[in-house]
Structure 1
Amino acid sequence: MVVRAGVGALLLLLFASLLTALPVAESPGSEDESEQEELGLNAVESRELEIQECTVTCGIGIREVLATSGCPGDEAKCIVAVKECRGPVDCGWGRPVSENSTSVMMTCIYIYPENRFKYIWKILIPGKPASILLDDSAIVVVHRDTRSVTYQCETIENGSVIASVKYTVNAIPELETEQQKEKGKRQSRKRRADAILIFCVVTTVIVTIGAIFVIIFIILHWAVIKTVLDSENGQDDKDKKLTNKSSVISME
C-alpha cells in the first residue's frame, strides 16, 4: 500500500510539473507575435528604412516609407508603407482646378477616400459674417459675378478643422464684356452681309437662267419670229409707200 501511495504521489508531481511547463514553453512565441503586431511592419523593421518628405506643406497629406535593402528583384528601393502626415491648418490661397471667362472650379484639401472628411464652403465678406454655401462637396463650380468674391473651404475630421484654403474668383472684366459685345456686333454685321450676298447671288442666277431660256426660245422659234418680223417690215413699207403717194397727190 505504501508503495502504491508513493507511486501515485510521484505521478501527481510529474503531471503538475508538465502543466506548469506548458505555458512557459508557449510564452516566447506569443511575445514575438505581440511584438510583430505592435511594430506593424514585421520583418521590415530589420531593413534600412528611408522616410520620404510629406506630399504637402500644410493640411493633410501622405509620406512613403522606403526600404533600401531586401527589396524583391534588382530594385534598390521599394515602398513598404504609406503613412499620413500633417502640416499647419491654414494653407493660404489656392489655385483653381480650372477656370474660364464665366466659371471657376475649386477643390478642398483632402486625401483618399474623399468621403472620410466633411467640407464647409464659405463666402468671406469683409466686415460681415461669412456666408456658408449649401454645397458640401470637396469640389465645387461657381459662376463669376460682376464683382470679385473670396471663397474658403474647411476640411473637417472628427469635428476639428485639419485644413483650410481660400480662393479669389475675379469678376468678369469690363473690357472682356465690351469685347464680347463688339464681337457680337461684328457677327451680326457679318450675318447681314452674308444674307445680302446670298440674295444677290440668287438673283443673278435667276436672271441668268431666264436669259438662257429666252435665247433658247428664240433659237427654237427663229423661223416664226423671222416671218413675223418680215411681215411687220412689209407692212411698214406699204404704209410708207402709201404715205409717199398721198403726199405726191396732195402736192399736185
Structure 2
Amino acid sequence: MSPGGAGCSARLLLTVGWLLLARLQSTCGTNVTAFRDAGLDHEGEGENEGKEEAETDSEAENEPQDEAEEDVSNGTIVKEVEFGMCTVTCGIGIREVILTNGCPGGESKCVVRVEECRGPVDCGWGKPLSESLESVRLACVHISPENRFKYVWRLIRPNQQAIILPNDSAILEVHRDIHPMAYECETLENDEIIASVKFTIYTTAELQMKRSNRPDTDAVLVFVLTIGVVICIFVIFVLIFIIVNWAAVKDFWGAKASTTEVQSELSSMRYKESTSLDQSPTEIPGHEEDALSEWNE
C-alpha cells in the first residue's frame, strides 16, 4: 500500500468518526430536551394539583365559617341603644351610649361606651375660668386630651381687624387694662372650626363697681343654710328623745288628755246648770195660780 492510500484511509476513518460523534451528540441532546420537557410538565401538573388542593381546602374551611356566621347571625339578640344628654350645648362634648336590650346580668339598662357629641360652633360669650382684680384666666372649648386640638386666640378690636395672639394653648391668662378688652378663641380639629367662644375682660374699676352693686347673696344664702341645718338638728334630737322616752311621753300625754276631758265635763255641767237656772223663774206653781184666780173673782 502506498503512503497516499494510507493517508486517504486515515482521513476517511476520521471523517466517519466525526460523523458518528456528531450524530451521537444530536441524539443525546434530543433525549435530554425531551427529559427536561417531561420534567417541566410533571412540575406544572404538580403545581396545578397543589393549587387545586389548596383551593379545595380553602373552600372547605370557608364553608364552616360561613355556616358559623349564619348560625351566629341567626342566634344574635337584637340590641337597642339610646343616647344620653350631651354635656355641652355648643362646641364639642361627650355623651353616654346606653344599651336598653341585651345587657349582661339581666339589667334593663347599661352603659356601652362614651362617645363625642357636637353642637353649634358659636358658643357666644363665655365666663372666665378664674379672675382676680389683676388678671383673668380664660379657657377654650375642648375635651380631653387637650393637645388633640389646635387653638387660635384673637384680640377683638371694634371697627378694626382682630389681632392673632401667639398663644396656642387652651388656657390664656391676661392682665386687666385701663380699657375693657374682648378676646375670642377658636378650637380647630383637622383645620375645621368646631367651637368658638368670646370673653369680655372688664377693668379693675368696673369689676369693683359690679361687685359693690351686686347684692350680697352669698351671706344671705349662708345664713339661711345655717338656720336650716340648726332646725334639722333640733328636730332630729327631739325625735330621738321621744323614741328613747316613749313610755314617759305616753303617760304625759295620757294625763294631759284626761285632764282635758275632766275640764270639758265640768264646763258642760256648768253650762247645763246655768241653763236650768235661766228657765226656772218662768214656771208658776199650781197653788199660786189658784190664789190669783180667787182674788180676781
TM range (shorter): 0.5 to 0.7
Name the structure where helix makes up a greater proportion of residues.
Answer: 2
* Contact in 1 for aligned 2:78/2:101 (Cα 8 Å): no
Whether the 8 Å contact between 2:86 and 2:117 is mirrored in structure 1 is yes
Query: Could you tell me whether the CA contact under 8 Å between 2:134 and 2:204 is conserved in 1?
Result: yes
Tell me the alpha carbon deviations over residues 125-182 of structure 1, each in whole angstroms, 9 at most, x when there is no partner. Answer: 01111112121110111111111100000111111211100000111116949xxxxx
Percent identical across equivalent pairs? 51
Partner residue, 2:182: 150
State whether residues 60 and 109 of structure 1, in contact with CA within 8 Å, keep that contact through their aligned partners in structure 2: yes
Give 1:73 deviation, angstroms: 4.6
Aligned to 2:168: 136
Which structure has the greater CA radius of gyration?
2
The residue that corresponds to 1:79 in the other structure is: 111
Give the root-mean-square deviation of aligned CA atoms: 3.4
In the alignment, the residues of structure 1 paired with residue 185 and residue 166 of structure 2 have an alpha-carbon distance, to the nearest angstrom, of 12
Counterpart of 1:23 (choices 52, 55, 59) is: 59
Aligned-residue offset at 1:99: 1.3
Q: For the structure 1 residues 27 and 110, does the alpha-carbon distance in structure 2 shift closer, same or farther, using more than 3 Å as the test? A: farther
Q: 1:110 aligns with which of 136, 142, 148?
A: 142
Q: Structure 2: 5+ residue runs without aligned partners?
A: 1-47, 210-297
User: Where does residue 171 of structure 1 map in the other structure?
Assistant: 203
Give the unaligned 5+ runs of structure 1.
1-11, 37-42, 178-252
TM-score by length of 1: 0.53
Aligned partner of residue 46 in structure 1, secondary structure = coil
Tell me which amino acid in the other structure corresponds to 1:81: R
SS at match of 2:59: helix
**Aligned with 1:115: secondary structure?**
helix
* 2:88 matches 1:56: yes
Alignment partners' CA distance in 2, 1:154 and 1:44: 45
Q: 1:27 Cα deviation (Å)?
A: 5.5
Displacement over 6 Å in runs of 4+: 30-33
**3-state SS of paired residue (1:57):** coil
Change (3 A) 1:31 1:158: farther
Higher relative contact order structure (alpha carbons within 8 Å, sequence separation ≥ 6): 1
Partner of 2:132: 100
Q: Between Structure 1 and Structure 2, how many residues are aligned?
A: 157
